[in-house]
Amino acid sequence: MLSGLSVPTDDRVLIDYRTHDDAGVYRVGEDTTLVQTIDFFTPIVDDPYQYGQIAAANALSDVYAMGGTPLTALAVAAFPAGEIEMDIIRRIFVGGLDKLREAGVALLGGHTVRDQEIKFGYAVTGTIDPRRIWSNAGARVGDQLLLTKPLGTGVIATAIKFARATAEAADAAVASMLRLNRDAARALALPSVPDAVGGCTDITGFGLLGHGSEMARASGVTLVIDSTAVPTFPGVAALVKGNTTGGGNTNRAHFGADIGFASSINETTQALLFDPQTSGGLLATIQPGAAEAVRDALRLAGVPAWTIGHVAPRDTNTVVIR
Q: List residues binding Co ion (CB under 5 A).
A: 22, 39, 62, 202
Q: Could you give the 3-state DSSP secondary structure of residue 211?
A: helix
State the residue number with the nearest CB to Co ion: 22
Edge-to-edge strands, sheet with 119-127: 13-15, 24-27, 33-41, 119-127, 69-79, 106-114
Least Å from the CB of residue 207 to Co ion: 12
Least Å from the CB of residue 58 to Co ion: 7
Q: What is 121-132 written as a DSSP string?
A: EEEEEEE--TTS
d(CA 177, CA 295): 21
Cite the beta strand spans of 55-163 per DSSP E: 69-79, 106-114, 119-127, 144-147
Burial of 111: CB neighbours in 10 Å, binned 0-12, 13-18, 19+: exposed
Instruction: Name the residue nearer to Co ion (CB basis): 39 or 258.
Output: 39
Instruction: Name the residue nearer to Co ion (CB basis): 26 or 261.
Output: 26
Instruction: Name the residue nearer to Co ion (CB basis): 170 or 185.
Output: 185
Instruction: Name the residue nearer to Co ion (CB basis): 202 or 275.
Output: 202
- Contact between 196 and 190 (Cβ < 8 Å): yes
d(CA 236, CA 248): 14
Least Å from the CB of residue 298 to Co ion: 19
d(CA 148, CA 201): 11
Least Å from the CB of residue 142 to Co ion: 24
Least Å from the CB of residue 66 to Co ion: 9
Least Å from the CB of residue 75 to Co ion: 16
Residue 83 phi/psi, 5-degree rounding, is -95, -10
